[in-house]
Structure 1
């Protein structure tokens, strides 16, 4: 099942705090909005199987906010002529919804759409990264991977000879960690090369973006005289 988008919600899109939104009802009017809720009235939105249900947008009244849940309590309403009245049906006891599933009537819907798109794009990116790293972790170790015995021995020798540094007890664990990280790095290099060379067969794999490496500072440069420098 896909990850819930509220995990990747960017609160910077919100123009008001929860207290400010609820304060809009200080004049006696109820704060209204549209919430993404299960179509069936008798199923709470926080049900463990609610992700398998059919959802739709409903006109709601925003009643309160829970700091512990970081969710709003809403209740479906129906529009009667020119006024909004809270639905008093016993089957609708209210729903706790995250902010990304609640559009306030007073907010800009275009910004709200951008907020949802941001969360969905970030979710796709994170899920692709998790799938990529799990694939690399499940790869068997290549039998012809160059050995690290001499390198580890040299590092261990210099480490143990350092005065005031006592690592004898954890040296074995450190060597094992270095070996595992080295083997994983080699597998990752092989995997990336295969994916790039056979992109059609591995179209479902998204390689992580490579970090840009800053240009190295040259060891020597060309001397420039002060006379050749002109101030603009």
Structure 2
């Protein structure tokens, strides 16, 4: 009986060691794949950035002209590279994570008055402003620590709180005190999308393999 128990214990220990070795080998292989995916994401940004910059300049110029004719010249204009990590889902199941990078162009136009305490989207379906995001809001709403709570866009006074950004041109304001209200005119152009896979050390479900996007 004791011999039998010793054999059972030995087999159980062997099974645990085999499982641990398999987990370690799979994790190390997966970590190497994630490292390659991060390199690919950085390379995709650098490759896609020149063409994306040209398209972003064209889109911003088109929208800028129409906005100036309708509301006047912006007080601030800037472009930034914005990258975020998101999941690719199949129903309720996360299949993989990917990095999406875009060039976001912003024109900030002062307005003499405001309506309400939060932000309001202006919908333009036709003409040169079609495709742009137009949001009007009070200075207090746009400058607060959590602007999304007032349905306002993030990243106006400080860099966006989610993802990672790199300023490409222009400058955002240090504050918005010079006007009681603002019109935020935003266009966005895709630069790259790269599959990153899953966290190789996650045991059950697919989890994000990186904590922050890779800007290059």
TM-score bracket, normalised by the shorter chain, equals under 0.3
- Name the structure, 1 or 2, with higher relative contact order (CA <8 Å, separation 6+): 2
User: When the two structures are superposed, what TM-score results if normalisation uses the length of structure 2?
Assistant: 0.27
**Which is richer in strand?**
2
